[in-house]
Structure 1
C-alpha cells in the first residue's frame, strides 16, 4: 500500500544573488549603475547580443544527455548538468497593456507588453516551457516569439514567475520535466542530485526513523512520477513531473497497519519540518511494507 503526500514546504526566500539579479532585470541602468541611455549596444562583446548569430539549433550536450537518458545510460542529473551551460529558447507573446479608441470608434492597441508563456501542469502547478530549438517552439506555439537565453536564466525567470517546473520541449518527440529542486539549483547555478539518490537526504531520513522497534528499514527509491514516456510510449527513467521520492517503510512481520501508519505519519511530520528536506524533495509518496514482502 502506498500513500502520496505532496510536500508543503515552508515559505522560502530567494537567495540574495537571485534577488539582486531579479531587481536588476529591466532596470534603466546596468549592474554598475551606469545608464543605458545613449550607449551603443552593438558588437559581440555586448551581453545583450550574445545570440545575434544563433542558428536556432539544439545544444549538442543537451541533445546527448537526453539521448543517454532515453537509452537508459544517462541520468536526470546529467541532463541538469548539460543545461547549466546551454542556450534554450523561451516563448514570449504580446499582451495588451492599454487599449485606446481610434477616431473611427474602433478599439486599438495603444500599448502592448511582452509576456512569458506559462502552462499549468496536471497537478495544478505552474510550469515554464523552454525549447532546445526555434523550430520546436514555433511548432508548439505559432504566435510566440522565441527568445534565446541561457538555461539558468530561464530557471531564474521560472522562479520569478512562481513556476515550480521547467518543461523542456513540450509537444515534441520527448518532453523532459525539471522538477522544483532542479529548477532552483539551476537558477542558483549549482549542481543537483535528485532526492532519491541524495545521501544527505538518506541521512536525514535515518536520523528521523530511530527509536521505532517495529521499523526494520527505510529505503529511498524513485517515486512513480520520476519516469516519463516519449511520443511512441517508450518508458524513460527520468524526466517526469513527480512524485519524486518514494520512502519505503519496512516493518517487522505482525506490525498492525494502524501502528505502521502512525509511525510513518510521525516520521513524515519530522521530515516535513526540516528545511533541508523540504528544499531537496519536490514531492513524496510513502509505501508501507512488511519485512516478509
Structure 2
C-alpha cells in the first residue's frame, strides 16, 4: 500500500467519500454567491464599523476582570455580587450546534443541507429547571463540548438569550475546575443590565420579610441568611462561598415559648403564602429554605 493510500480500520484499502453536503460546499467554493445564494458583490465584511465584528481581535481567553472576580470568590475574599458586576462588562461564549432543518439534492447531485439551524445548547439542572451553559474561554467550551461552536457575546446578551429560551439559570464554565451558577434573579438583572444584590443581603427584601413577623403573635422574629445551596465546591473539592445552584435564601423563624410544632408550621405556611404573593419578593428570591426555632425561655427573676 502506498503512503498516500487511505486505509480502513480493518487494514484493508478503502476509498473514502466526503459527505454530500461537504462535497457540494467545496464545489461552490470561490463562487460569486454564498451558501445561501446571496451575492458577495457590494458586501462589506471588514470589522471597522460592522456590529457583527465586535470581537474581531478576540483571543479566546478569559476576560481579565471576570477571571479576577472568580479567583477572589474561590479564595474566599470575593462575592457573588463582584462576579455579577464583572459579568456585566465581560465577553463570554455561548455554545451552538448545527441542526439540519431541511435537506435535498443540490445542483451537482449531492445530498446537501437546504436549511440548517444553529441551536443553543441547554442543560437540565438537578431540580429539573432549564439552564443555559456559558463559557469564559474558548478552551473551556471546547473541553466541555468538542463539537459545539463558540459564539462570542457580551454576558448581558447571553442572559437575554437564556430568558428567551425559558432558562432559569446561567451556568458559567460547566465541567471546569470552578463552575459558577447565576440564579434567576441575578440572570434577569444581568439581562436588564442592572446591578444585583443577592436576596440574602438585600435590605429591601429584609424589610418585606420583617413586616410579616408583626402580624403573627406567636412569632418573635424572622432572620434572613444565605441558603445552604449558595456555596459550592471546585472540581478538586475546595469549598467556595458562592456560585451554587440553590437553595439561595434561608428564613429562620424564631417563635415565642409555648408554641407547638403544628402551630409553628401553620404560621410559616401563612407567611410563605403572603411572601409568594409579594412581587418584589417573588422576583428577588430564586429558591427558599426554612428553619424553625423556639426562643429561649425567660429565666425567672431571683428578686421576684
Report the TM-score, using the length of structure 1 for normalisation: 0.84
**Aligned length, in residue pairs:** 257
Structure 1 residue 292: Cα displacement = 3.0
**2:126 pairs with 1:154:** no
Q: Which runs of 4+ in 1 moved over 6 A?
A: 102-107
Aligned residue for 1:231? 235
Aligned equivalent of 1:263, options 247, 262, 267: 267
Of 38, 41, 44, 1:40 maps to 44
User: How many Å separate the matches in 2 of 1:61 and 1:236?
Assistant: 19
Aligned partner of 2:220 among 213, 216, 224: 216
For each residue in 1:220-256, what CA deviation from the matched residue of structure 2 results, as whole angstroms up to 9, or x when unmatched?
0111111111001111111011111111001122210
User: 1 CA distance for matches of 2:208 and 2:42?
Assistant: 55
1:110 CA drift (Å): 2.6
CA deviation after TM superposition for structure 1 residue 207, in Å: 1.6
Match for residue 84 of structure 2 among 55, 62, 80: 80
Larger relative contact order (C-alpha < 8 A, sep ≥ 6)?
1
Q: Is 1:280 the counterpart of 2:284 in the alignment?
A: yes
Q: Which residue of 2 aligns with 1:91?
A: 95
1:51 aligns with 2:46: no
Give the Å deviation of 1:96.
1.1
Match of 1:289 in 2: 293
Deviation at 1:208, TM superposition (A): 2.1
Distance in 1 separating the partners of 2:151 and 2:119: 11
2:192 paired residue number: 188
**Residues 1:129 and 2:138 are matched in the alignment:** no
1:48 is displaced (CA, Å) by 1.3
SS in 1 for 2:289: strand
2:72 maps to which residue? Answer: 68
Indicate conservation of the 8 Å contact 2:47/2:56, yes or no: no
Residues 1:51 and 1:105: Cα distance change in structure 2 (over 3 Å): closer
Aligned-residue offset at 1:106: 8.8
| Structure 2 partner of 1:141 | 145
Give, in angstroms, the shift of residue 156 of structure 1: 0.6
Distance in structure 1 (CA, Å) of the matches to 2:63 and 2:252: 38
Counterpart for residue 243 of structure 1: 247
Query: Greater shift after overlay, 102-111 or 129-138?
Result: 102-111
The residue aligned with 1:33 is none
C-alpha RMSD over aligned residues: 2.0
Aligned to 2:209: 205
Q: Note the residue ranges of structure 1 that are not aligned, 5 or more in a row.
A: 1-36
Task: Determine the C-alpha separation between the residues in 1 that align with 2:271 and 2:213.
Answer: 6
The answer to whether the Cα contact below 8 Å between 2:213 and 2:220 also exists between their aligned partners in 1 is no
Any idea what SS the aligned residue of 1:289 has? strand
1:177 maps onto 2:181 in alignment: yes
Offset, 1:193:
0.3
Where does residue 100 of structure 1 map in the other structure?
Answer: 104
Residues in 2 aligned to 1:45 and 1:105: alpha-carbon distance in whole angstroms: 40
State the alpha-carbon separation in 1 of the partners of residues 54 and 112 from structure 2: 35
